[in-house]
Amino acid sequence: MKDAEPTLTPTEPAPAEHVLVLPGHLFFIETINAPIDLEPAEIADFIELSLESIAPFPVDQLNWGFLYNQDAPTILVYATHRDRLKQAGYTELQSYAWVLPDFATLIGACFPDETLVALESANNLSLLLFNKGVSVPRTVLVASLKDGDVEQALKELIASAPELPKGAATLRVRTGAIELSEQGLASFNQESADDSRSALEYGAWTRLALTEAQLWQADVRSADFKETERSARRLGSLLMRITAWAAVFALVLVGIEMLLLASQAWLSTLDKQIESQRTAVLTIEDKQALMVKLEQVAKNELRPIAILDAANNIRLKQNLGIEYDSAVVEGENHITIEGKATSINALNSYTESLKQSGQFALINAPESITRAGKTTFTVTLAYTHIEAVAPVEPKVPQLAPEITTPTEEDKI
């Protein structure tokens, strides 16, 4: 079933974010019993089949909906001919978020006792009978308020239905503001229309937030349109969620990028500070290294001059053609000599002489490479200082003076 093509009128705005509430007197209303074994997915098909037997017009010419809840034993069905809606000026149905009769705004209301609710609007009065604790009305009676006399219309409705319970409490309300959530679901705010009977304002009815399933059931547009619109809205909602998550992800990426830029700027600043302090740091390190060496000299009694002098004396004494390229004296009186020898035999003789001197001991085996007749070597030695002993001259024994006895002549 499809709605007829709408006829646009300049006096009927139809923004998609609005809910169109139709006067209840435009619909014929029936209450049918709900089969016990009826599945929720089969309700719409069951209602359509029921309409074919009770409606005076073909179903494809009707705008219809229903109110149903699992806690109710009955289903409230309502329908109207499309031409009747057009004649009343309601032509742009497809452009609204939701389209439903005014008495459907009370779906979900619940009362602690059997209650008659008189719902007033500008040109319509609906009388709804709710059973105790049931959120779907058992009976709905509607009258047009042509002359605006609500009291007279209410009396006529009650008189036209003698089956209504006489002792039921009566509550008079009117529909106030209608709100749409971010998900496009409608909420109906009801307010009391009779302050003198405020004692009857009980139960849950002041704010009714309908679910998506309840709204689609109450909507009077065609089944084909509702199916297509439902799919489009779900797709739109999915796209909006994807867009929102994409926006959040983009913001996170932007935040991370800003943090990276800030960290890079901070690191660049640190690099500049380090570079500017490099000279001072190197100077301090050199001074510290010198102080360490001086401390080692003081603690370990390093004798770099004595070490070099002893090694050089042995080199000169051997006369093997040994040449020094560098000599480094380290802590604990260790010396590392790098140089050249005329041959590997000359190097071996030199190192053997160092060991036999009693002042040097090899720490590691000498490293040597012979190329083009020249042998380069590296040898590390431990030095033991031996104090030189001055030669002692032999002492010549002194003779005791000869004692002579003076003679007489000497005495004279």
On whether residue 214 sits in a domain, the answer given is yes
Give CA–CA dist 123/106, Å, rounded. Answer: 17
Give CA–CA dist 110/107, Å, rounded. Answer: 9
- Region 54-75 average pLDDT: 89
Do 35 and 134 lie in one domain? The reply is yes
Do 170 and 93 lie in one domain? The reply is yes
Q: What pLDDT digit, counting tens, does each position of 114-124 carry?
A: 999 999 887 88
Q: Is the pLDDT of residue 2 over 50?
A: no
Do 55 and 165 lie in one domain? The reply is yes
User: What is the pTM (predicted TM-score) of this model?
Assistant: 0.57
The domain of 363 spans: 304-383
Q: Between 45 and 4, where is the model more confident?
A: 45
Do 41 and 159 lie in one domain? The reply is yes
Do 240 and 211 lie in one domain? The reply is no
On whether residue 145 sits in a domain, the answer given is yes
Q: Between 412 and 230, where is the model more confident?
A: 230
The pLDDT value recorded for residue 369 is 86
Do 346 and 281 lie in one domain? The reply is no
Which residue, of 199, 221, 243, is where some domain finishes?
Answer: 221
Do 281 and 135 lie in one domain? The reply is no
Do 308 and 360 lie in one domain? The reply is yes
On whether residue 252 sits in a domain, the answer given is yes
Give CA–CA dist 182/257, Å, rounded. Answer: 32
Q: Is the pLDDT of residue 300 over 80?
A: no
On whether residue 35 sits in a domain, the answer given is yes
Do 188 and 326 lie in one domain? The reply is no
On whether residue 407 sits in a domain, the answer given is no
Which residue, of 298, 316, 331, is where some domain finishes?
Answer: 298
On whether residue 398 sits in a domain, the answer given is no
For all residues of the chain together, what is the average pLDDT?
Answer: 82
Of 48, 111, 112, nearest in space to 75 by CA? 48
Q: Between 14 and 155, where is the model more confident?
A: 155
Which residue, of 163, 197, 221, is where some domain finishes?
Answer: 221
Query: DSSP states of 250-307 as a string?
Result: HHHHHHHHHHHHHHHHHHHHHHHHHHHHHHHHHHHHHHHHHHHHHHHHHHHT--HHHH
Do 323 and 292 lie in one domain? The reply is no
On whether residue 7 sits in a domain, the answer given is no
Q: Using only C-alpha atoms, what is the Rg of the chain?
A: 58
Q: What pLDDT digit, counting tens, does each position of 183-193 carry?
A: 889 999 988 88
Count the domains in the chain: 3
The one-letter code for the residue type at 231 is S
Compute CA distances 357 → 45, 237, 345, 360, whole Å. 118, 97, 18, 7
Do 217 and 239 lie in one domain? The reply is no
- The 3 state secondary structure assigned to 1-29 is CCCCCCCCCCCCCCCCCCEEEECHHHCEE
In the chain, what is the straight-line distance between the N-terminal and C-terminal CA atoms, in Å?
184
Q: Residue 362's domain is classified under what CATH number?
A: 3.30.1360.100
Q: Is the pLDDT of residue 412 over 50?
A: no
On whether residue 5 sits in a domain, the answer given is no
Do 317 and 275 lie in one domain? The reply is no
